[in-house]
Amino acid sequence: MAVDDVIHQILPLLPTKSAVRMSCLSKQWQAVWFSLSILDFDEGDPAHDSDNKLEKLQHTNFINILDRYCRNAKNKKLLEKFRLRMTTFSIVRDSVVVNKCLSFAVGRSLKELDISLRPKHRPFLCCLSLQTLLDAKSLTTLSLEFVRIKVDDNTSYYLETLPSLKSLSLKSVQLISEALSLLVSGCPSIEYLSLCSCTF
């Protein structure tokens, strides 16, 4: 069995964070993880220490992994699922990196999007662009938690905004009613809708 074949079999079995770390070993490993069809970035529970240094370091390392993905991933291969879980979202740098990752994922004909960005300090939630979500025409499942959906001035409105969407779940999401109506009314294939603790 060739080395490339072994790498292709090992990397999909690893958590995404571990796959990114392994990609530092060689260019061969790097090329493989960029082409994975399922990406699951999970920050994990925050470290608990008295002076908060360990928690900050853990979070900084996680953001650096996301940023590295955004800067280096150029693959346009189909992305089945993109999951991002953060337990200590901070408004300053994190928002830029998260939105870059989201834009890239949407550009890979994304099928499932699952984002949960628990804020470190309430009520500061990450702002996601409604236009970016509406551009994800291939989405079948959309699950958002602890985010704010903003409507840009240049948001384009279509009769069928998300024609393939079957499942929509919003939990602790801030949005204007116009954003919700655009999301729901443009989904002719929707089968499941869940709204929990959302504010308008």
**Rounded CA separation 114/165 (Å):** 13
In the numeric block, which tokens belong to residue 145?
């938690």
Mean pLDDT of 16-26: 66
pLDDT value for 44: 82
Closest CA to 194 of 176, 180, 182: 180
**Confidence check: pLDDT of 148 > 60:** yes
- Predicted local confidence at residue 144, as pLDDT: 96
Please give the average per-residue pLDDT across 56-79, as a whole number. 79
